[in-house]
Chain A
Amino acid sequence: MTRNGFGLLQAPAFVVVGVLYPWLFPGDYLIHLGSLVCLYVILTSSLNLIIGYTGQFAVAHAAFYGVGAYGSVLLVTRLGVPVWMAAMAAIVLAGLFALVIGLLTLRLRGAYLAICTFAFSELFRLTLDNWVSLTNGANGIIIRFTLPTIALPGLPGWRFESRPAYYYLFLLLAGATVCLIQRIVSSDVGRVLQAIRQDEVLARVAGFPTYRYKVVAFVVGSMLAAVAGATYAPYLSYIAPDLFDINETIYILMIVMIGGLRTIGGPLWGSILLVSLPQLLDIKPVVRMLVYGVTLIIIMVRLPGGLSQIGQSLVGFVARRRLRGLPVGAGSAGRSDA
């Protein structure tokens, strides 16, 4: 059974194309697009861990992304914390929030996690909007610092003064995220997470403390979202509350679901196609969200087998099929008893 559907052939191809990208597609705009795609690879892959593999419906992902962004920026501007340290602290903070929410709700029915993450997302946005003295409210914050140079032994430092410099950072982070998720998924832990998604009662009866596993998946996924936020904020030079609200989570979720839930390649391909196409075709966000929303619903409705069938949706399906040269899923219909 393909647990990650991401063949060994694809990985080097992605790396090569990723590294050569700024030469293949030069220019500020295209390189920025590349960074954006990498950002969403991080966001979608980490959400996929929580919702796709572990089956926990958590919708505060953009809020954790925001904790990473606002957290690090505020620590730097208000408390003068060095940038990299502020980023780490913000990520840890996101982890703490996720831990609290997880501990409170993951012992209860799934509806509780969904509601609490929804509420947390709204509350976070409200706090950003209203605590003006801290966050400058809905006007957002203009960021005047960049990521400090990373000293590389024996090489010139990694200076963040140009778009390609940032791009390679995001590429690295995206690659690391995908690797990490792939390792988790194919490990013993990942097996348990997927068992929890399929049948949590059975997983418990099989002897697994499912509560702990769910919390771990939720916290890890959420912290990865914060990583994206903390590194992207200085690049963007501007953050505002409406970048981190429930609509952003919906957007991330759309990419995951349309790209292919529960595959490693799904968030990858999804981010590449669904983030860059609207930009390249100059489609307005309103139109984009409408189209994606409708597509999302069509997918939900046309796959009555539920989310368990969605590993085969659109792009993920095509990618894996081409890779393996085989039809996906060995269906052996109704054999007689042994």
Chain B
Amino acid sequence: MLDVQGIRKRFGGITAVDDVSFQVAPHSITGLIGPNGSGKTVTFNLIGGLSRVEGGQIFFQGERIDRLSPDAVTQRGIGRTFQNVKIFPDFSVAENLVIMGQPREVLRCGRSIFWNARPGEIGARNRDLLELVGLSEKRDEPAGSLSYGQQKLLAFVALMALRPDPGLILLDEPMAGVNPRLVTTLLGLIRLFQARGKTFLIIEHDMRVIMELCSTVIVLDQGRKIAEGPPTEVRRDERVIEAYLGR
């Protein structure tokens, strides 16, 4: 589904990502791990179009996407979350979902100026999504007033409200700063949506999560891929152990 070929990216004098290649199979959950500064988030930025690759190519469902702007990438069917959870703080919880589902083109949105200008109605799908994460009661509250964990849930579920339906979901450290009970909830959600047909690529530091969820794990260190394979294999790989410990 996602085919990353030899991507490269430098910042100033530092090579953040150096000749990284990997593939993500449809309907799988793939993990992307590595010590801090190994280029994981940069890779996400490159895939998502927030950064421009300086070498190599990225293909999604056969189509080349590395030259596209972030909004175009999302419209092709890739959604992502951020390490520091991003939601629209002044919008209500419901509105955070509504905006994900509305038309993107200026002209199509412009029609709603002249008729149908009703406040964002919350359709059945969004209502279900909120129920799923237990935020139904909060739906009119400003998203900025939610707790960190609730915001993470909201950000996750907002991706599912995206239209067109995203096929690939990039999660950037979904478990960071989250209490154990919420970890379980999130694990359940990820599996649920995998069953519904979605593909996940997850950056994580929490090894238990990686072990539980992922069928394949890719390991980066200082911008290079140093290992790839099932989690049990990767865990025993010497280079991986050295990368995490040998500093």
Contacts and interface: CB of A to CB of B under 8 A. Distances in A.
Are A and B subunits of one complex?
yes
Given A188-B102, A205-B74, A206-B99, A337 B89 contact: no
Contact of A3 (B75, B119, B140): B119
Contacts of B108: 188
| Max chain A C-beta neighbours (<10 A), residue from B89, B112, B148 | B112
Given A188-B102, A191-B120, A338-B134, A206 B185 contact: no
B156 to A, nearest CB: 12
Interface in B144-193: 145-150, 153, 162, 178-179, 181-182, 185
A183 B113 contact: yes
Nearest to B114: A183
B119 A192 contact: no
B50 interface: yes
Contacts of B114: 183
Contacts of B86: 199, 201-202, 205
Contact of A1 (B95, B103, B147): B95
A284 interface: no
B39 interface: no
A3 B69 CA distance: 29
B104 A194 contact: no
Q: Interface size for chain A: under 10, 10 to 19, 20 to 34, or 35 or more residues? A: 35 or more
B19 interface: no
Given A191-B99, A329-B142, A202 B87 contact: yes
A334 B191 CA distance: 28
B80 A1 contact: no
B141 A205 contact: no
A338 B113 contact: no
B245 interface: no
A187 B88 contact: no
A77 interface: no
B90 to A, nearest CB: 6
B98 interface: yes
Contacts of B179: 337
Contacts of A336: 147
A204 interface: yes
A331 B162 CA distance: 27
A1 B112 CA distance: 19
B145 A207 contact: no
Nearest to B80: A205
A204 B150 contact: no
A213 B102 CA distance: 14
B14 interface: no
B113 A195 contact: no
A189 B111 CA distance: 9
A56 interface: no
Nearest to A180: B113
Contacts of B124: none
A280 interface: no
A308 B117 CA distance: 24
B88 A205 contact: no
A209 B102 contact: no
B145 A332 contact: yes
Interface in A195-230: 195, 198-199, 201-202, 204-210, 212-213, 216
B91 A195 contact: yes
B140 A209 contact: no
A9 interface: no
B217 to A, nearest CB: 25
A103 B103 CA distance: 23
B135 interface: yes
Contact of A209 (B69, B88, B100, B153): B69
Interface in B89-138: 89-92, 95, 98-100, 102-106, 108-110, 112-114, 117-120, 133-135, 138
Interface of A: 1, 3, 183-184, 186-189, 191-192, 194-195, 198-199, 201-202, 204-210, 212-213, 216, 308, 329-338
Given A189-B109, A206-B71, 15 more contacts: A187-B112, A188-B108, A188-B110, A198-B90, A198-B91, A202-B86, A206-B74, A208-B71, A209-B69, A210-B71, A335-B147, A337-B150, A337-B182, A338-B133, A338-B185
27 contacts: A1-B95, A1-B140, A187-B117, A188-B110, A191-B91, A192-B102, A192-B109, A194-B90, A195-B99, A198-B88, A199-B86, A199-B89, A201-B70, A204-B74, A205-B48, A205-B70, A205-B74, A206-B99, A207-B74, A213-B106, A330-B140, A332-B138, A332-B141, A335-B147, A338-B134, A338-B150, A338-B182
Interface of B: 48, 50, 69-71, 74-75, 80, 82, 86-92, 95, 98-100, 102-106, 108-110, 112-114, 117-120, 133-135, 138, 140-142, 145-150, 153, 162, 178-179, 181-182, 185
